[in-house]
Structure 1
Amino acid sequence: MKVTQEVLPDSQVGLEIEIPADLSQKTYDQVLNKMMRTVNVPGFRKGKVPKQVFLQRVGLTQFKAAVIEELVQNAVDKAIKQEEIDAIGNYQLKSGFEELISQYEPGQPITIQASVDVPPRVTLKTYKGLSVQAEEVLPDPERVDSTLAQYQNNLATLVPIEDRPAQAGDVAVIDFVGKVQTDSGEFEEFQGGSGTDFQVELEEGRFIPGFVEGIIGMALEEAKDVEIPFPDDYSQAELAGKPAVFSITLKEIKEKELPELDDDFAQEISEFETIEALRTSLIERYQEEADEKTKANKDAALVKALVEHLEAEIPNTLVQKEVDFLLTQTIMQLSRQGIDVNKMLSRELVDGMRQRTRPEAIDRLRRTLALGEVAKQEGIKIEEEALQEKIKEAMAEVEDPSQIDPDRLKQVLTEELLQEKILAWLEEANTVELVPEGTLQEEAIVDQADALEATVVETDDSESDAIEVEATAVADDAGETTEADDEGEPEAGKTKKAAKDA
């Protein structure tokens, strides 16, 4: 069988296949015999239908279409094997199917055009001697004290108070009735706006602004009206931004009596015998968290720089597979949150999710390919002993080992270990400058704002307002960026969730 190859974009190989006459006839006979054995025609026993009756019953065009489907599949499979092509996914037929049907005659040669996806064509121009910046995360020096204070607050004893007004930090028991202003200007009670013997901690941020502040200073059995508007961004749209009045009666005042920060306190809330041991444990834990975030920032910066030097053609087969993986992860997460995804997900919604997920899938694949190329060039591999030790650690955290797919677990942990090893190699082969936390985020905001400002200068007045709004949105989005994104973890999860992923 004569096969002519052509290199196509997006990591595809084009195939022109000349199907010889004998294969054409053989396929025709095979399909005819198979269909004649299974078709039901009134007046004939199954398998005993004459050829002409069968063709009249099925239709010549429909039968030839079945032959062409079988012929193309067989020809492509043979061509891939003959040419030793490392194909992934199914083939794509480039010839017109209707044209092939009209051209086809059993026992006559026929030429088809098809294409197959092959592994990505990857070029990593450089991966050594790179200089990147990453934000260094330092532990909050006040976090240990604030954590211990929260533990104290959780164990506080409530002591009734009768000789003073309510003050910040107290716990108040109140009756209240809330009314909201309607479009007519009248104030009417609203659902969920009233309560009896309602206990509220007098701390800022517990309720809508002004509610707690209105209670502070009240005396026992005092009743008062507190006029406060609902915030514009209130979660209930029908109340957002509307004036309201709350009639409040203070029935009880309770003061929090905090336990002492001593060894007894440490033993009650932890496994530590002394308060100093508990403090040391918290300091070490928060330092470890900060170190992990710093490392994630360094990994992300290195991978980002690596990808900038990557040239890769990624076949659609891999992109679709990655999209499916991300979509499955999203659906599983929704299910774990108690959402009935079968009722929620329509075909249109799933198609939209696929389209929105595609850029992320491509980014993940590019990171994976960049790291994989480093491993390939430098011969970075995972030792079997290290892998088995990791598997043992993961299985020790599993309650029911029978629910774990051992092959999947091995794959996940292999990817995790390999990624860690590649990233460690990259850190040694390149320069990572640590900068204070928030520095790079601020620079990103400034750079994007400057770019948008330059665009505003070059546009006319009719476009300026829209661009100004966009610049504000960019600054807001950048301000909400987390301390480190997931670029440092392009494929595998961490060991703690590896068994779960399996």
Structure 2
Amino acid sequence: MKVTQEKLPASQVGLEIEIPSEMSKKAYEQVLQNYTRSMNIPGFRKGKVPRQVLIQRFGAARIKAAAIEELVDSALKEAIKQEKIEAIGNFQLKSSFDELIGSYEPGNPLTFSASVDVQPEVTLKQYQGLTVQAEEIKPDPERVDQVLGNYQKQMATLVPVEGRPAQKGDTAVVDYHGKFAPAGEDVEEQDVPGGQAQDFQLELEDGQFIEGFIEGVIGMNPGETKEISVTFPEDYPQETLAGRPATFAMTLKELKEKELPELDDDFAQDASGGDYQTIADLRESLEKRFTEEVEQKTKSNKEQAILDELLNQVEADLPETLIEREVEFMVSQTAMQLQQQGIDIKRLLNQETLPMLKERSRPDAIDRIKRTLAMGEVAKQEAIETTEAEINERVKEVLADLEGRDVDPDRLRTAVAEDLLKEKILTWLEEHNSVELVPEGTLKKDEDVEDEEEGTEEGIDEATDAIEVEAEEVEADVIKTEEASPEPK
């Protein structure tokens, strides 16, 4: 089969393929046989329909079209194999299909043009001797005390309070009954849905309820009853209440305050489940944990700074196939992570928002691909590779950590090999480039400033902002949980 190649933009290879006459005739005959075997035509037994009857019944153009589809598919695959082209996808017919039908004569050669995506050629202008800046993250000297303080609050004992009014930080036992005036004139007040309770234990902390609710209780004395006026936020989930004023009849029945446990050895044992016997050991473990965390963050910042600079040094004409795959991967990974955290993905990602989210993900996908290609080029140029022994050792470590869980050994080995190679490349890059550490917060990206000044587009931002908000809330919950536990991770 005669094949002529042509290099095209976006890492595509153009192919002009000449299908030989015998192949052209064979495909046409095969289509006719398939029609003969499968079609039921009145007056003829199945499989015995004359060829001319078939052509008249279905039309010569339709039969030719079916033959051409088969020819193009098989010829393209054979051409890629014959020319040893490392195609990665996005096969496109460049010739007009209608023109092919018009020129196709079974038994005569047929020429068509097509294109395929191939791996891009990578040029890395410089990858050593670079100077970059990265933010250095330092431990917060107050964090250990903050974590211990949070755990003290969780382990606190509530004791009755007498002789003073309610103040912030107290726990109040209250009865309340809320009423609001619905929209419209001359409408009687109605009960606030879910706005009634008796013997409700209310923590007098900011953010627990709508603005004004907690503030109204502060200053009350046990046994006192008063009316608290509030206004529901405009974005309140219940539309009938959004932006509406309401009044709550509030009775403070009992007042309690938290009695915190002493930060002593008994506290350390209780808080850690017996893992630490002294408060000194507990403090030391937390300090070590937080120090390791900031060291890892600084290390990640250094690696990211080098990789970001590599983006300025790499040249690669990316094929659409790679970009689409990376976008799909990014979106699916985000969806999976949020779904595992209990977020309703179907509500956030729908037919309207998903295409926009993919489009917005393209720049990040392109950067991710280029960074990966740049790292691969470094490994190629410097002969950086992993050994079977290194991979086996790391696989054993991971399996030990995942003991009792169902693990796909092939996928695990592939992931381990990729991670090990990435670690080696990053180590090499850090050793052969200069990273200047600067204080945290000094390297705010220009694009972050632009986003703040210009705002963001509507539509997709509503979807992504909702995802980000829910993700941040989940992350905050995780952080609170981690900080509440003194057990180092």
Task: Name the structure 2 match of 1:437.
Answer: 440
Deviation of the 1:447 alpha carbon: 7.8
Deviation sequence 1:474-497 (CA, Å, 0-9, x none): xxx9xxx99xxxxxxxxxxxxxxx
The structure 2 residue matched to 1:376, chosen from 380, 385, 394, is 380
Conserved? CA contact 2:135–2:298, under 8 Å: yes
Deviation of the 1:64 alpha carbon: 0.6
Secondary structure in structure 1 of the residue aligned to 2:315 = strand
Secondary structure in structure 1 of the residue aligned to 2:321 = helix
Aligned partner letter, 1:131:
T
Deviation of the 1:442 alpha carbon: 7.7
Aligned partner letter, 1:317:
T
Q: Do the aligned partners of residues 238 and 435 (structure 1) sit closer, same or farther apart at CA in structure 2, a change above 3 Å counting? A: farther
Secondary structure in structure 1 of the residue aligned to 2:443 = helix
Aligned partner letter, 1:358:
R
Counterpart check, 1:260 vs 2:262 = yes
Aligned partner letter, 2:407:
I
Conserved? CA contact 2:90–2:320, under 8 Å: no
Separation of aligned partners in 2, 1:205 and 1:448: 28
Counterpart check, 1:168 vs 2:168 = yes
Of 390-399 and 157-166, the range deviating more from structure 2: 390-399
Conserved? CA contact 1:187–1:244, under 8 Å: no
Separation of aligned partners in 2, 1:303 and 1:280: 35
Let me know the Cα RMSD of the aligned residues: 2.9
Q: Do the aligned partners of residues 35 and 443 (structure 1) sit closer, same or farther apart at CA in structure 2, a change above 3 Å counting? A: closer
The structure 1 residue matched to 2:340, chosen from 314, 330, 336, is 336
Deviation sequence 1:378-397 (CA, Å, 0-9, x none): 11112222212222222233
Give ranges in structure 2 of 5+ residues lacking alignment: 458-463, 470-489
With normalisation by structure 1, the TM-score equals: 0.83
Deviation of the 1:65 alpha carbon: 0.7
Q: Counterparts of 1:69-108 in structure 2 under 5 Å?
A: 69-108=69-108
Deviation of the 1:399 alpha carbon: 5.5
Deviation of the 1:192 alpha carbon: 2.7
Of 341-350 and 60-69, the range deviating more from structure 2: 341-350
Q: Do the aligned partners of residues 413 and 440 (structure 1) sit closer, same or farther apart at CA in structure 2, a change above 3 Å counting? A: same
Deviation sequence 1:425-461 (CA, Å, 0-9, x none): 1111111111111111287666888xx7xxxxxxxxx
Task: Name the structure 2 match of 1:198.
Answer: 200
The structure 2 residue matched to 1:417, chosen from 408, 414, 420, is 420
Task: Name the structure 2 match of 1:474.
Answer: none
Separation of aligned partners in 1, 2:350 and 2:248: 43
Conserved? CA contact 2:182–2:240, under 8 Å: no
Deviation of the 1:45 alpha carbon: 3.5
Aligned partner letter, 2:45:
R
Task: Name the structure 2 match of 1:497.
Answer: none
Counterpart check, 1:9 vs 2:9 = yes
Aligned partner letter, 2:387:
E
Deviation of the 1:143 alpha carbon: 1.0
Separation of aligned partners in 1, 2:282 and 2:396: 30
Q: Counterparts of 1:37-436 in structure 2 under 5 Å?
A: 37-180=37-180, 182-183=182-183, 184=185, 188-231=190-233, 239-270=241-272, 271-338=275-342, 347-398=351-402, 400-401=404-405, 403-436=406-439
Give ranges in structure 1 of 5+ residues lacking alignment: 453-466, 472-476, 483-502
Of 258-267 and 240-249, the range deviating more from structure 2: 240-249
Of 95-104 and 189-198, the range deviating more from structure 2: 189-198
Task: Name the structure 1 match of 2:478.
Answer: none
Separation of aligned partners in 1, 2:351 and 2:448: 38
Secondary structure in structure 2 of the residue aligned to 1:121 = coil
Q: Do the aligned partners of residues 383 and 35 (structure 1) sit closer, same or farther apart at CA in structure 2, a change above 3 Å counting? A: same
Task: Name the structure 2 match of 1:31.
Answer: 31
Q: Identity over aligned residues, as a percent?
A: 56
With normalisation by structure 2, the TM-score equals: 0.85
Aligned partner letter, 1:283:
E
Deviation of the 1:99 alpha carbon: 0.6
Q: Do the aligned partners of residues 334 and 51 (structure 1) sit closer, same or farther apart at CA in structure 2, a change above 3 Å counting? A: farther
Deviation of the 1:41 alpha carbon: 2.9
Q: Do the aligned partners of residues 294 and 201 (structure 1) sit closer, same or farther apart at CA in structure 2, a change above 3 Å counting? A: same
Deviation of the 1:61 alpha carbon: 1.2
Q: Do the aligned partners of residues 407 and 135 (structure 1) sit closer, same or farther apart at CA in structure 2, a change above 3 Å counting? A: same
Deviation of the 1:112 alpha carbon: 0.6
Separation of aligned partners in 2, 1:345 and 1:132: 38
Separation of aligned partners in 2, 1:120 and 1:280: 51
Separation of aligned partners in 1, 2:53 and 2:311: 63
Secondary structure in structure 2 of the residue aligned to 1:439 = coil
Aligned partner letter, 2:312:
E
Aligned partner letter, 2:389:
E
Q: Do the aligned partners of residues 350 and 169 (structure 1) sit closer, same or farther apart at CA in structure 2, a change above 3 Å counting? A: closer
Secondary structure in structure 2 of the residue aligned to 1:133 = strand
Secondary structure in structure 2 of the residue aligned to 1:391 = helix
Secondary structure in structure 1 of the residue aligned to 2:444 = helix
Separation of aligned partners in 1, 2:11 and 2:447: 34
